[in-house]
């Protein structure tokens, strides 16, 4: 009987112990990043992802060590969408806000900040903590995937605000045009816009115009089901 009790205690406490262990490692590696040891931490990410799968803190570390801006924002958005109650969610959402602000997509950035203030009012990021990092643009690398799953946004917008779906973020115009042509071939209304900052370009592929964020998310779910392509709700 005593062995059974001990076994049950181990089973029940194991997840909590793993979470504590993961938090300790994430904290240590974040300290290394702050000390300029990003490449050393980056080399450990595959091992951490295997050791702690689907851990939001480890995903945050992965995003922190990802030099390609559009891929990093996809990971940050996945933390917000899949682990909204985690301690990493408000910081990840702030990173998404920074990304769009740096691109000059101020309406989308404002939408992210509104979400941050609404969902995480106690966060220092929601009360003005931190500055916008204008260095979050992607580097000149091959195409990046779509920037994350649909965001949870405020569904009440002004009459002049329209929502759209970002289905791709690319560092090369040719790849963006291929994505645009694909959706046009499927009968969708598609727009491609470019943003340049400090001689770095990013090409965004946008599908449709929707009156509310909920309408946009519904269309995003349809696109995911049909084509296995993720999207993120933005404004235009």
Q: Kindly report, residue by residue over 153-191, the tens digit of the pLDDT.
A: 333 444 456 899 988 888 888 989 999 999 999 999 999
Q: Regarding beta strands 232-235 and 163-170, do their DSSP bridges make them parallel or antiparallel, or are they unpaired?
A: antiparallel
Mean pLDDT of the chain: 79
For residues 8 and 122, membership in a common domain is answered with yes
Average pLDDT score over residue span 119-146: 57
Please report which confidence band the pLDDT of residue 10 belongs to, taking 50, 70 and 90 as the band edges. Answer: very low
The domain that holds 180 is classified in CATH as 3.30.70.1070
Question: What pLDDT, on the 0 to 100 scale, is given for residue 80?
Answer: 93
Question: What pLDDT, on the 0 to 100 scale, is given for residue 6?
Answer: 43
Residue percentage of the chain with pLDDT more than 90: 39
Average pLDDT score over residue span 95-124: 88
pLDDT digits (tens, 9 = 90+) for 186-209: 999 999 988 876 567 788 899 999
Question: What pLDDT, on the 0 to 100 scale, is given for residue 52?
Answer: 93
CA separation for the pair 156, 214 (Å, rounded): 9
Please report which confidence band the pLDDT of residue 14 belongs to, taking 50, 70 and 90 as the band edges. Answer: very low
Average pLDDT score over residue span 67-74: 82
Q: Cβ of 219: how many Cβ atoms within 10 Å?
A: 20
In this prediction the pTM is 0.64
Within-domain flag for 148 = no
Residue 92 confidence (pLDDT) above 90? yes
Within-domain flag for 151 = no
Within-domain flag for 132 = no
For residues 19 and 123, membership in a common domain is answered with yes
Residue 151: exposed, middle, or buried by beta-carbon count in 10 A (0-12, 13-18, 19+)? buried
| Stronger pLDDT, 110 or 68, i.e. the higher one | 110
Average pLDDT score over residue span 119-124: 92
Within-domain flag for 26 = yes
Within-domain flag for 154 = no
C-alpha separations of 225 from 77, 78, 218 in Å: 19, 18, 11
- Give the residues across from 197 on adjacent strands: 200
């Amino acid at each position: 009987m005593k062995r059974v009790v001990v076994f049950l205690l181990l089973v029940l406490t194991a997840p909590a112990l793993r979470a504590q262990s993961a938090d300790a490692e994430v904290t240590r590696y974040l300290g290394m990043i702050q000390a300029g040891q990003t490449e050393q931490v980056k080399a450990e990410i595959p091992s951490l992802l295997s050791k702690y799968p689907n851990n939001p803190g480890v995903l945050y570390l992965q995003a922190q060590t990802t030099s390609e801006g559009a891929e990093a924002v996809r990971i940050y958005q996945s933390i917000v969408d899949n682990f909204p109650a985690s301690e990493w969610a408000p910081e990840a959402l702030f990173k998404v806000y920074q990304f769009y602000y740096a691109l000059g997509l101020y309406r989308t950035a404002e939408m992210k900040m509104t979400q941050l203030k609404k969902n995480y009012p106690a966060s220092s990021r929601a009360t003005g903590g931190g500055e916008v990092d204008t260095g979050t643009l992607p580097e000149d690398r091959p195409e990046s995937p779509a920037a994350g799953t649909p965001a949870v946004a405020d569904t009440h917008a002004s009459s002049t605000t329209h929502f759209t779906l970002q289905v791709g973020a690319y560092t090369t115009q040719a790849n963006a045009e291929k994505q645009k042509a694909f959706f046009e071939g499927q009968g969708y209304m598609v727009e491609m816009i470019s943003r340049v900052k400090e001689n770095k370009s990013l090409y965004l592929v946008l599908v449709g115009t929707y009156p509310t964020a909920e309408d946009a998310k519904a269309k995003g779910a349809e696109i995911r089901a049909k084509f296995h392509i993720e999207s993120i709700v933005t404004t235009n």
